[in-house]
């Protein structure tokens, strides 16, 4: 472990770059030791250097000389900051601010040059060695992640510099350490040549954001080791071979293994899979006396006959893309948060992670090994911004950058090679194509032939083992499933297919997941996908609640495109995650309710159903009548069984009845407790009886009002004023919704982006013309025409009111389109205002959460209640939200509404117009009216903020419609 000399500009072999400072040179760095695997738990001495460091921020890279790195430098006047951390998220604004761009580089593109304005953070830490620090042996100083370029000195001696932000870098420091008063100085530049390779869609967050450690290396160290495992599903035998540079002995007590390093041993084992993450604890004892623990998971990954298989079986990715994010700490994510992420994923039936778009903190992969997730480990590489000029100057197609690319590939593979969970390497994201990528692929294949390669950006798939795409629509995915993708080379048609990104979870949505899942389950070639993305990257902020792009005054930014996750920034699951959990559930429960049979299908790839217990419940009008256990055989993966339900219990006459069958964990697991709900299905038995319209009462005209049964109307306008004691305001036809991010669509999207089209058509400013208020013997009828200024199209809307003498009032709405409509409707229903004292809703319908026509898989028919506040889904950028599906009846604010047919129910303390105008959660302020929407139909959600819009059947086309609500006052 000799230190090589740190680089000097004149070391560069590249004439053009010769005169450039180290941070602009394309070279990956100098002075460090070769990359190697991460192992946190060797028994060699180790000292964490995390904590409070002295810090000085400069506006440019060369504002100060190196004297701060010299022992004796007086930094006592410098403030302190926390390492790991990003300086822009510390110091309450004193250290600059985060900046968000999706693809555009936030500086002029002139690789490898960076701006003169290059925020530079000098970090200083003085430390002593623990008393028991071994006197002999070597030591290394290890950085797990620094964005984007660091230069390091120890006790005044320059160790070198590096780039590659989310990759580890180590320096040998023997001969430099003292028992006390060691001065570690780290100069970090926000911008470097490396920034051109790190154009991921996320905040730009400079700093030492992962751990810094000093590690002792005993004599004769196992410098590196490689745990090779394989599993033969035909024989049930696993093979282990631990390669260790310095030799040593390998033991796995549980398997009776005790062999020299380098020797292969084959023994009967239980295999590792994401569903059954069986790990065997082993140790490597080095000749130098160090003991290095490892965990071996036995599995074999292969592409065979065009199918990606693990241990001989096709697997199906039910995945997510995970960026590292914490709303206060950015990418400095602690282990508790990582564990929280993995637990949430497991509890939501997610089985795979693509580490978009860089290797995560290494401890995250330990958790994936332990708890069971398939991982596509992606290199820290993206040059997306070059696409704006036709990929001109793309570093991955310029051989001068190839050493930097190879360095990144090696740092990823060497660090992460011993993780059972890592089943594929990914070259990076959105880099176009180029020889540099091919060079990376060759290097990786040579170093680790045991894992297939992934890269999405090259449609020829020249360097990859799977065909991967992002955001392809359902029709195209189906064509690919049928091997009909003739827009690429024939060789590609032989490859398995994955959607490395789909289901863009920005704001309300994503819609259409169920339909994708059906395709994955139908076509062998389609091996699932990874929803984009796991968490909203909203930064906690007093003004906005959560800040997104532009909120820090960035001159260039991409707004709330950074908030497109299944979790809100504080890790509260959004309705999208509940939907995904249901869509990818590993057990399918369906059947014939009236016949009393339930068909259970095991959709696991490896596990049988022995770990689940099943129960039934019989409901009448949403109320459980009886429940019991259901004996389901421990079906093998892929198997189904028809199971007989008991005789249906008695239910009130005329009640709507049905079975709910649930599968829950039979025992505690490492990721959830016994009883945790995994899958469910509902089997209707007897259908809903239609609501009989109130009739018989006659309207009575008074001086100012008309009364009809329990209702009072304005005599002049025909507007409803009250139902019994409940005042009602502003009841009228409503077609507007605050466009969702998916309604608005991405600006590069061709096709129909309905949000902007709706607004252009004026659907947010419909005018209601009153044509007639007619009294009949048994009804009050109000005829209107609803249309926007400047438009020659509109909706005829007739409100027909009838009532009985028992306090029931029925509104029948008939809608007749007029003129030439060129856009679908956002919604079709009525809205009305109730006094703001109404705080609670109870309903019989779908719940507990939000649902829309193409996001309703998780909506469970039952009796639900929620406060009005909890009916809101707090999207970081406010937008349409909170609808409940299939509602038969709802009680709110003393009013009961029964729908014929079922309807969608929404209630909020602000108008749709206010919701539409809001930019952040903090813009939503409760008014003095509770606004309730009762919708006959809603337009779908889709995924057009990056992917396809709603499928045609979820588009709310303009057509004649009739629907009715029956109102009555309740206690
Ligand atoms: C795709 C990117 O790979 C991902 O990083 C993210 O930006 C996502 O889109 C959108 O949120 S690239 C897109 C142009 C298809």
Contacts for 269 with CB less than 8 Å, ≥ 6 apart: 231, 236, 237, 238, 255, 278, 280, 298
SS3 content of the chain, % helix, strand, coil (to 5): 15, 35, 45
Element (H, E) at 604: none
Ligand 1 close to Cβ of residue 429 (< 6 A): yes
pLDDT value, residue 662: 98
Ligand 1 close to Cβ of residue 455 (< 6 A): no
Task: Using the predicted structure, report yes or no on whether residue 16 has a pLDDT greater than 70.
Answer: no
- Rounded mean pLDDT of 435-464? 98
- Rounded mean pLDDT of 272-284? 98
In a domain? residue 231: yes
Q: Which two tokens stand for residue 562?
A: 């950074």
Both 290 and 313 in one domain: the answer is no
- Rounded mean pLDDT of 106-125? 98
pLDDT value, residue 440: 98
Residue 228 preceded by cis peptide, ω within 30: no
Closest residue by Cα to atom 5, ligand 1, is 201
Residue 567: closest CA among 740, 350, 361, 344: 344
Q: Give 470's strand partners.
A: 501
Unique residue bearing structure tokens 């400069």: 58
For residue 666, the domain's CATH number is 2.60.40.10
pLDDT value, residue 2: 36
Ligand 1 close to Cβ of residue 177 (< 6 A): no
Both 333 and 390 in one domain: the answer is yes
**Ligand 1 atom closest to 384 (CA):** 12
For a substitution probing ligand 1, which of 501, 576, 744, 944 has the most ligand atoms within 8 Å of its CB? Answer: 501
Domain boundary among 247, 266, 300: 300
| CA gap 225, 262 in Å, rounded | 10
pLDDT value, residue 12: 43
For residue 302, report the distance from its CA to the centre of ligand 1, in Å.
28
Closest residue by Cα to atom 4, ligand 1, is 201
With beta carbons less than 8 A apart as the criterion, state whether 513 and 857 touch.
yes
Q: Which two tokens stand for residue 207?
A: 């700093």
For residue 24, the domain's CATH number is 2.60.120.260
Task: Using the predicted structure, report yes or no on whether residue 4 has a pLDDT greater than 50.
Answer: no
pLDDT value, residue 206: 98
Domain count, the chain: 5
Unique residue bearing structure tokens 């289901």: 503
Average pLDDT of the residues of the chain: 96
In a domain? residue 700: no
| CA gap 736, 769 in Å, rounded | 17
- Rounded mean pLDDT of 826-841? 96
Closest residue by Cα to atom 9, ligand 1, is 946
Q: Residue 777, class by beta-carbon neighbours within 10 Å (0-12 exposed, 13-18 middle, 19+ buried)?
A: exposed
Beta strands in 245-351, from DSSP E residues, in sequence order:
249-252, 257-260, 265-268, 280-285, 291-296, 301-304, 307-310, 313-314, 317-321
| CA gap 429, 383 in Å, rounded | 8
3-state class (DSSP) for residue 521: helix
In a domain? residue 693: no
DSSP class of residue 198 equals: B
pLDDT value, residue 218: 81
Task: Report residue 204 CA to chain centroid gap.
Answer: 19
Largest interatomic CA distance in the chain: 104
DSSP-assigned states of every residue in 434-490: -HHHHHHHHHHHHH-TTS-EE-SS-TT-TT-SSEEEES--HHHHHHHHTT--TTS-G
Q: Go through 730-768 and write b for each residue having 16 or more CB atoms within 10 A of its CB, e for each that does not.
A: ebbbbbbbbbbbbbbbbeebeeebbbebbbebbbbebee
Ligand 1 close to Cβ of residue 945 (< 6 A): no
| CA gap 193, 184 in Å, rounded | 24
Q: How many CB atoms lie within 10 A of CB 133?
A: 16
Summarised one tens digit per residue, pLDDT across range 443-456 is 999 999 999 999 99
Task: Using the predicted structure, report yes or no on whether residue 637 has a pLDDT greater than 90.
Answer: yes
Tell me the CB-side half-sphere exposure of residue 150, using CA atoms within 13 A: 31
Q: How many CB atoms lie within 10 A of CB 16?
A: 10
Both 368 and 505 in one domain: the answer is yes
Phi then psi for 494, rounded to 5 degrees? Answer: -90, 0
With beta carbons less than 8 A apart as the criterion, state whether 292 and 46 touch.
no
Task: Using the predicted structure, report yes or no on whether residue 48 has a pLDDT greater than 80.
Answer: yes
- For CA atoms 331, 336, 338, 341, the dihedral sign is negative
pLDDT value, residue 246: 82
Which residues belong to the active site?
430, 501
Domain boundary among 269, 300, 331: 300
Task: Using the predicted structure, report yes or no on whether residue 38 has a pLDDT greater than 90.
Answer: no
For residue 533, report the distance from its CA to the centre of ligand 1, in Å.
10
Both 207 and 244 in one domain: the answer is no
Summarised one tens digit per residue, pLDDT across range 918-953 is 999 999 999 999 999 999 999 999 999 999 999 999
Q: Which two tokens stand for residue 187?
A: 């100069």
Summarised one tens digit per residue, pLDDT across range 343-372 is 999 999 999 999 999 999 999 999 999 999
For residue 859, report the distance from its CA to the centre of ligand 1, in Å.
29
pLDDT value, residue 7: 43
Both 575 and 627 in one domain: the answer is no
Summarised one tens digit per residue, pLDDT across range 671-686 is 999 999 999 999 999 9
Both 591 and 569 in one domain: the answer is no
For residue 102, report the distance from its CA to the centre of ligand 1, in Å.
8
Residue 95: closest CA among 198, 201, 211, 190: 190
Q: Give 680's strand partners.
A: 662
For residue 342, report the distance from its CA to the centre of ligand 1, in Å.
22
DSSP class of residue 504 equals: -
3-state class (DSSP) for residue 409: helix
In a domain? residue 178: yes
Both 717 and 675 in one domain: the answer is no
Closest residue by Cα to atom 14, ligand 1, is 946
Give the domain range for residue 847. 706-969
| CA gap 907, 513 in Å, rounded | 26
Ligand 1 close to Cβ of residue 201 (< 6 A): yes
Contacts 24+ apart (CB under 8 A), 719-723: 720/801, 720/811, 720/832, 723/809, 723/895, 723/967, 723/968, 723/969
Q: How many CB atoms lie within 10 A of CB 717?
A: 11
Position 39 confidence tier, pLDDT thresholds 50, 70, 90: confident
Torsion angle of the four alpha carbons 678, 673, 636, 281, in this order, in degrees rounded to the nearest 10? 130
pLDDT value, residue 42: 83
Q: Which two tokens stand for residue 832?
A: 């009305």
Residue 161: closest CA among 195, 205, 192, 139: 192
Q: How large is the angle between the packed helices 335-347 and 362-371, nearest 10 degrees?
A: 30
Domain boundary among 658, 686, 714: 686
Q: How many CB atoms lie within 10 A of CB 144?
A: 22
Element (H, E) at 738: none
Both 159 and 235 in one domain: the answer is no
pLDDT value, residue 221: 58
For residue 573, the domain's CATH number is 3.20.20.80
In a domain? residue 557: yes
Q: How large is the angle between the packed helices 402-416 and 435-447, nearest 10 degrees?
A: 30
Closest residue by Cα to atom 10, ligand 1, is 946
Task: Using the predicted structure, report yes or no on whether residue 67 has a pLDDT greater than 90.
Answer: yes
Position 815 confidence tier, pLDDT thresholds 50, 70, 90: very high
Task: Using the predicted structure, report yes or no on whether residue 222 has a pLDDT greater than 60.
Answer: no
Both 159 and 76 in one domain: the answer is yes
In a domain? residue 701: no
Summarised one tens digit per residue, pLDDT across range 695-720 is 999 999 999 999 999 999 999 999 99
Both 908 and 814 in one domain: the answer is yes
Position 5 confidence tier, pLDDT thresholds 50, 70, 90: very low
For residue 201, report the distance from its CA to the centre of ligand 1, in Å.
7
Contacts 24+ apart (CB under 8 A), 90-97: 94/57, 95/55, 95/57, 95/121, 96/57, 97/552, 97/553, 97/554
Q: Which two tokens stand for residue 100?
A: 């968000």
**pTM for the model:** 0.97
Both 407 and 466 in one domain: the answer is yes
Residue 848 preceded by cis peptide, ω within 30: yes
Summarised one tens digit per residue, pLDDT across range 534-593 is 999 999 999 999 999 999 999 999 999 999 999 999 999 999 999 999 999 999 999 999
DSSP-assigned states of every residue in 557-592: --GGGG---SB-TT-PBPHHHHHHHHHT-SEEEEEE
Task: Report residue 297 CA to chain centroid gap.
Answer: 27
pLDDT value, residue 245: 84
pLDDT value, residue 10: 45
In a domain? residue 5: no
Q: Go through 576-613 and write b for each residue having 16 or more CB atoms within 10 A of its CB, e for each that does not.
A: bbbbbbbbbbbbebebebeebebebbbbbbbbbbebbb
In a domain? residue 549: yes
**Ligand 1 atom closest to 456 (CA):** 3
pLDDT value, residue 151: 98
| CA gap 759, 765 in Å, rounded | 8
Both 276 and 149 in one domain: the answer is no
């Amino acid at each position: 472990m000799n230190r090589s000399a740190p680089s000097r500009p004149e070391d560069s072999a590249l004439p053009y770059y010769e005169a450039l400072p180290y941070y602009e040179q394309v070279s990956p760095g100098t002075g460090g030791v070769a990359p190697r695997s991460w192992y946190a738990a060797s028994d060699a001495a180790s000292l964490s250097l995390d904590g409070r460091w002295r810090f000085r921020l400069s506006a440019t890279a060369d504002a100060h000389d190196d004297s701060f790195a010299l022992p004796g430098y007086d930094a006592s006047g410098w403030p302190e900051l926390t390492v790991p951390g990003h300086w822009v998220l510390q110091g309450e604004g004193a250290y600059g601010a985060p900046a968000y761009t999706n693809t555009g580089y936030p500086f002029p593109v002139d690789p490898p040059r960076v701006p003169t304005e290059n925020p530079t953070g000098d970090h200083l830490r003085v430390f002593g060695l623990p008393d028991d620090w071994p006197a002999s042996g070597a030591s290394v100083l290890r950085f797990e992640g620094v964005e984007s370029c660091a230069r390091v000195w120890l006790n005044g001696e320059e160790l070198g510099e590096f780039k590659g932000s989310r990759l580890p870098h180590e320096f040998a420091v023997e001969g430099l350490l003292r028992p006390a008063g060691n001065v570690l100085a780290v100069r970090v530049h926000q911008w470097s040549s490396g920034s051109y390779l790190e154009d991921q869609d996320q905040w730009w967050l400079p700093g030492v954001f992962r751990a810094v450690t000093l590690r002792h290396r005993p004599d004769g160290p196992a410098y590196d080791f490689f745990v090779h495992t394989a599993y033969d599903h035909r024989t049930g035998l696993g093979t282990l071979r631990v390669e260790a540079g310095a030799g040593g002995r390998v033991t796995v007590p549980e398997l009776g293994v005790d062999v020299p390093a380098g020797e292969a041993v084959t023994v009967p084992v239980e295999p590792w899979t994401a569903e059954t993450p069986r790990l065997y604890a082993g140790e490597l004892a080095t000749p130098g006396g160090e003991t290095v623990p490892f965990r071996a998971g036995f599995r074999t990954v292969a592409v065979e006959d065009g199918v990606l298989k693990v241990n001989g079986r096709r697997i199906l990715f039910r995945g997510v893309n995970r960026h590292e994010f914490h709303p206060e700490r950015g990418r400095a994510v602690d282990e508790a948060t990582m564990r929280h992420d993995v637990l949430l994923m497991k509890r939501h039936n997610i089985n795979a992670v693509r580490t978009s778009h860089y290797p995560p903190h290494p401890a995250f992969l330990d958790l994936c090994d332990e708890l069971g997730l398939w991982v596509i480990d992606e290199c820290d590489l993206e040059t997306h911004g070059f696409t704006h000029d036709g990929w001109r100057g793309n570093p991955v197609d310029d051989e001068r950058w190839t050493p930097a690319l190879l360095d990144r590939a090696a740092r990823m593979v060497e660090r992460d090679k011993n993780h059972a969970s890592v089943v594929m390497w990914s070259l990076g994201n959105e880099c176009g194509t180029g020889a540099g990528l091919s060079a990376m692929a060759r290097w990786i294949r040579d170093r680790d032939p045991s894992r297939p390669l992934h890269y999405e950006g090259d449609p020829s798939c020249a360097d990859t083992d799977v065909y991967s795409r992002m955001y392809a629509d359902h029709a195209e995915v189906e064509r690919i499933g049928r091997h009909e993708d003739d827009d690429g080379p024939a060789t590609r048609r032989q490859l398995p297919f994955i959607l490395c990104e789909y289901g863009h979870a920005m704001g309300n949505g994503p819609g259409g997941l169920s339909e994708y899942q059906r395709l994955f389950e139908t076509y062998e070639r389609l091996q699932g996908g990874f929803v984009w993305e796991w968490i909203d990257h909203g930064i906690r902020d007093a003004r906005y609640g959560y800040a997104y792009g532009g909120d820090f005054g960035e001159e260039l930014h991409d707004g709330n495109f950074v908030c497109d996750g299944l979790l809100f920034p504080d890790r509260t699951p959004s309705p999208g995650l509940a939907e995904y959990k249901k869509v990818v559930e590993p057990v399918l429960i369906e059947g014939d309710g009236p016949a009393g049979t339930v068909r259970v299908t095991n959709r696991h790839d490896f596990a049988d159903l022995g770990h689940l217990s099943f129960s039934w419940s019989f409901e009448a009008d949403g109320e459980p009548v009886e429940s019991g256990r259901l004996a389901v055989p421990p079906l093998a993966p892929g198997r189904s069984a028809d199971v007989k339900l008991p005789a249906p219990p008695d239910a009130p006459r005329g009640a709507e009845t049905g079975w709910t069958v649930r599968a829950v964990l039979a025992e505690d697991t490492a990721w959830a407790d016994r009883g945790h709900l995994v899958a469910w299905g509902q089997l209707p038995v007897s259908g809903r009886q239609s609501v009989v319209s109130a009739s018989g009462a006659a309207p009575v005209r008074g001086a100012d009002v008309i009364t009809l049964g329990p209702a009072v109307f304005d005599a002049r306008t025909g507007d409803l004023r009250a139902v019994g004691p409940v005042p009602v305001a502003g009841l009228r036809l409503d077609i507007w919704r605050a466009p969702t991010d998916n309604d608005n669509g991405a600006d590069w999207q061709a096709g129909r982006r309905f949000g902007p089209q709706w607004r252009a058509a004026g659907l947010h400013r419909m005018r209601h013309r009153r044509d007639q208020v007619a009294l009949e013997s048994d009804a009050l009828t109000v005829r209107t025409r609803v249309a926007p200024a400047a438009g020659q199209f509109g909706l005829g809307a007739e409100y027909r009111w009838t009532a009985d003498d028992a306090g029931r009032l029925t509104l029948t709405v008939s809608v007749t389109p007029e003129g030439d409509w060129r856009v679908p409707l956002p919604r079709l229903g009525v809205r009305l205002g109730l006094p703001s004292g109404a705080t609670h809703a109870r309903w019989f319908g779908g719940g507990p959460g939000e649902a829309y026509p193409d996001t309703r898989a998780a909506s469970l028919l039952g009796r639900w209640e929620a406060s009005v506040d909890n009916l809101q889904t707090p999207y970081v950028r406010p937008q349409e939200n909170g609808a409940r599906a299939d509602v038969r009846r709802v009680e709110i604010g003393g009013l009961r509404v029964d729908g014929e047919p079922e309807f969608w129910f929404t209630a909020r303390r602000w108008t749709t117009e206010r919701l539409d105008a809001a930019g952040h959660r903090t813009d939503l302020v409760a008014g003095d009216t509770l606004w309730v929407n009762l919708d006959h139909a809603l337009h779908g959600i889709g995924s057009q903020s990056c992917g396809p819009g709603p499928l045609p059947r979820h588009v709310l086309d303009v057509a004649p419609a009739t629907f009715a609500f029956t109102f009555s006052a309740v206690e």
